[in-house]
Amino acid sequence: MDQITNVSEYEAIAKKNLPKMLYDYYASGAEDQWTLKENLLAFSRILFRPQILIDVSTIDLSTTILGFKVSMPIMIAPTGMQKMAHPEGECATARAASAAGTIMTLPTMANSSIEEVASTGPGIRLFQLYVLKDRNLVTQLVRRAERAGYKAIVLTADTPRLGRREADIKNRFTMSPSLTFKNFENLDLGKIDETNDSGLASYVAGLIDRSLSWKDVKWLQTITTLPILIKGVITAEDTRLCIQAGAAGIIVSNHGARQLDYVPATIMALEEVVKAAEGQIPVFLDSGVRRGTDVFKALALGASGVFIGRPVVFSLAAAGEAGVRKVLQMLRDELELTMALSGCCSLKEIRRDHIVAEWDAP
Ligand code: FNR
């Protein structure tokens, strides 16, 4: 672990440690994987305009997210089935997030239950919700998240159907029979059709309600008092609809390039969303964040914080909880250094003119 100097190095270790089918499931994007590459490349089209001779002897990375004080604006995105990466799965991730003083998002499709993750100890946690066809099940999930002390519902809105991840189809991806979706153990996994493309993907996709629409956001508000973040927004039009629907925040996300291919990298879409939000609700970003410099760029473009997905599963596969802790620590250190070298002592001091994007007018 001492040899690891950046987040991306964990991917190579995960590739060695994991069976091909599992590595491919975590790593893949949809179809041509154009957006997958673009999510990383787009960050490199933004350069810095640092300010020199600023006293940066003390740097404060802390911020407030949904009213909760966190140590840094780097949080954990929901990624399904983490026990395929490491036997301690989501619980290891939750402990690492809590140790780093930041937020973890537990997915609906987890191998550890809402309650198990809550019982790992104190921590600020959000619950990612896939709205399933069975609304009683959805209501139960939301109530359980409330009771277990989760602070918000992250409504994933970009997945009426699963994107076509061709590696999963080739590998006939399925979850190990020793694992379950712990949030609903009564579901009959025996129904999975292993002969069909990716059996598991088809099964999960079959549970999700394709008819989900804006009126369901209103419905969700009638069953919970928790704030609702809408995940998967990449346009100004949808941003305005999120605000009208009463969302407490937006996550600019393309699902780590696993859904619609050829959507822009989120860092390219961020400014449009931030402008449309007009400061009424916080805007967060995920997809492609691998460096502290990426985090700084997102903040300069108006994000209130970022979430990371694959770095968590890859570091889990490489070194369990210690790996996730190290990823969070490396990103934190890199963000702190970027701030120091740009002349910013606090997140509030990060401004749009600390960066110049390729698309800015000369
Ligand atoms: C995801 N993501 C995801 N999102 C969600 O809302 N519910 C889910 O169950 C999952 N599952 C999932 C599994 C895996 C293996 C990946 C890689 C991603 C999307 C995730 O929350 C996030 O949007 C992206 O992972 C962010 O992109 P990066 O950081 O992976 O590039």
Q: What pLDDT digit, counting tens, does each position of 114-149 carry?
A: 999 999 999 999 999 999 999 999 999 999 999 999
C-alpha of residue 49 to centroid of ligand 1, in Å: 31
Paired tokens of 251: 């996550």
C-beta pairs of 324-329 under 8 Å, 24+ apart in sequence: 324/76, 324/92, 324/93, 324/96, 324/97, 325/96, 325/99, 325/100, 326/1, 326/4, 327/7, 327/10, 328/72, 328/74, 328/96, 328/97, 328/100, 328/102, 329/100
**Averaged pLDDT, 286-306:** 99
Q: What pLDDT digit, counting tens, does each position of 87-102 carry?
A: 999 999 999 999 999 9
Closest C-alpha residue for ligand 1 atom 18? 79
Ligand 1 pocket test: pick from 258, 260, 287, 291 the residue with the most ligand atoms within 8 Å of its Cβ: 258
pTM for the full predicted model: 0.96
Q: Looking at residue 196, what is its pLDDT?
A: 46
Residue 59 · residue 339 · CB < 8 Å: yes
Amino acid at the residue 273:
V
* pLDDT confidence tier of residue 177, bands split at 50, 70 and 90: confident
Q: Looking at residue 351, what is its pLDDT?
A: 98
Instruction: Spell out where the chain has E strands.
Output: 46-48, 63-65, 68-70, 74-76, 103-106, 124-129, 152-156, 228-233, 249-252, 283-285, 305-308, 355-357
Q: Looking at residue 199, what is its pLDDT?
A: 59
In 3D space, the residue among 141, 103, 142 whose CA is nearest the CA of residue 122 turns out to be: 103
* pLDDT confidence tier of residue 190, bands split at 50, 70 and 90: very low
Mean pLDDT of the chain: 95
C-alpha of residue 159 to centroid of ligand 1, in Å: 11
Ligand 1 neighbour 72 (Cβ under 6 A): no
Look at residue 195 and tell me whether its pLDDT is greater than 70: no
Ligand 1 neighbour 256 (Cβ under 6 A): yes
Ligand 1 neighbour 326 (Cβ under 6 A): no
Catalytic positions: 255
C-alpha of residue 355 to centroid of ligand 1, in Å: 27
Any idea where the domains of the chain sit in the sequence?
9-357
Q: What is the ipTM score, two decimals?
A: 0.99
99 Cβ contact list (under 8 Å, min separation 6)? 325
Min mean pLDDT across 70-74, 135-139, 307-311 is at 135-139
Binding-site residues, in ranges, read 25, 78-80, 128, 130, 156, 165, 231, 253, 255, 258, 286-290, 309-310
Question: Can you tell me which atom of ligand 1 is nearest the CA of 288?
Answer: 31
Buried b (16+ CB within 10 A) or exposed e, 110-133: bbbbbebbbebeebbbbbbbbbbe
Ligand 1 neighbour 309 (Cβ under 6 A): yes
In 3D space, the residue among 334, 347, 351, 342 whose CA is nearest the CA of residue 56 turns out to be: 342
Residue 91 · residue 117 · CB < 8 Å: yes
C-alpha of residue 20 to centroid of ligand 1, in Å: 19
Calpha distance 348→12 (Å, rounded): 35
Ligand 1 neighbour 259 (Cβ under 6 A): no
CATH topology assigned to domain 9-357? TIM Barrel (3.20.20)
Question: Can you tell me which atom of ligand 1 is nearest the CA of 105?
Answer: 21
Ligand 1 neighbour 232 (Cβ under 6 A): no
Question: Can you tell me which atom of ligand 1 is nearest the CA of 108?
Answer: 9
Q: Looking at residue 187, what is its pLDDT?
A: 58
* β-bridge partners, 285: 252, 306
Binding-site residues for glyoxylate, in ranges, read 25, 165, 255
* Three-state SS at 127: strand
* pLDDT confidence tier of residue 361, bands split at 50, 70 and 90: confident
Ligand 1 pocket test: pick from 28, 79, 90 the residue with the most ligand atoms within 8 Å of its Cβ: 79
Ligand 1 neighbour 163 (Cβ under 6 A): no
Min mean pLDDT across 22-26, 195-199, 212-216, 239-243 is at 195-199
In 3D space, the residue among 152, 150, 198 whose CA is nearest the CA of residue 173 turns out to be: 198
C-alpha of residue 35 to centroid of ligand 1, in Å: 14
Ligand 1 neighbour 227 (Cβ under 6 A): no
Paired tokens of 141: 């999930």
